[in-house]
Structure 1
Amino acid sequence: MSIAELQVYAVETADVTGGVCVVRCVGGVARAGQVYAVGELRAGLRRIERYGRTVESCEAGRMAKVHLTGAVVALLARGQVLTYVPPGGHALAEVEAWLATGPSLLEEPHPGPLRALATARMQDESLPDGMRLRWGRIALAAIDRAGRTEEQPYVRAYLLQRFGPGSPGDLDRDPAALCRDVLARIGMTPQEAAEQARAWRELPRPAIQLLRRAKNLIPCTAPARPHLAAADPLAVAVDTWAALRPRLP
Structure 2
Amino acid sequence: MSFAELQVCAVEAADAAGGVCVVRCIGGVARAGQVYAVGELRIGLRHIERYGRAVGFFDAGHVAKVHLTGSVVALLAGGQVLTYVPPDGHALAELEAWLATGPPLLEEPHPEQLRSLATSRMQDEELPDGVRLRWGRVALAALDRADRSEERPYVRSYLLQRFGPGGDGDPERDPAALCRDVLALFELTPAQAAEQAPGWRDLPRPAILRLRRIKNLLRCTEPARPYLAATDPLAMAVDAWAAVRPGLP
State the partner residue of 2:48: 48
Deviations 1:12-65 (A, max 9, x none): 222222221111111111000111111111111111111222110011121111
Residues of 2 paired with 1:169 and 1:66: CA distance? 47
User: 1:147 offset after TM fit, Å?
Assistant: 2.1
Aligned to 2:27: 27
The answer to whether residue 86 in structure 2 is matched with residue 91 in structure 1 is no
**What CA distance in whole angstroms lies between the structure 2 residues aligned with 1:68 and 1:216?**
40
* 4+ runs deviating over 6 angstroms: none
Output the CA distance in 2 between the equivalents of 1:133 and 1:150.
20
Aligned to 2:207: 207
Counterpart residue type for residue 108 of structure 1: E
- Contact kept? 1:186, 1:217, Cα under 8 Å: no
For residue 202 of structure 1, what is the amino acid of its counterpart? D
State how far apart, in whole Å, the 2-side matches of 1:211 and 1:65 are. Answer: 48
- Other-structure match for 2:5: 5
Aligned-pair RMSD on alpha carbons? 1.5
CA distance in 1, matches of 2:219, 2:50: 51
Corresponding residue for residue 165 of structure 1: 165
Measured against aligned partners, the alpha-carbon deviations of 1:99-120 in whole angstroms (never above 9, x if no partner) come to: 1122332222221222112112
Range moving further from structure 2, 116-125 or 188-197: 116-125
SS at match of 1:94: helix
For 2:91 and 2:64, how far apart are their aligned partners in 1? Answer: 27
Shift of 1:187: 2.1
Contact 1:37–1:82 (8 Å) recurs in 2: yes
Please tell me the residue identity of whatever aligns with 2:88: G
Q: For residue 127 of structure 1, what is the aligned residue in structure 2?
A: 127
- Quote the Cα distance in structure 2 between the aligned partners of 1:191 and 1:168: 37
CA contact (8 A) 2:39 2:120 kept: no
1:209-237 Cα shifts (integer Å, max 9, x gaps): 11111111111001111221212221111
Indicate the residue corresponding to 2:81 in structure 1.
Answer: 81
| TM-score (structure 1 length as normaliser) | 0.95
Q: Percent identity?
A: 77
Report the count of equivalent residues. 249
Aligned to 2:71: 71
Report what 1:246 is aligned to.
246
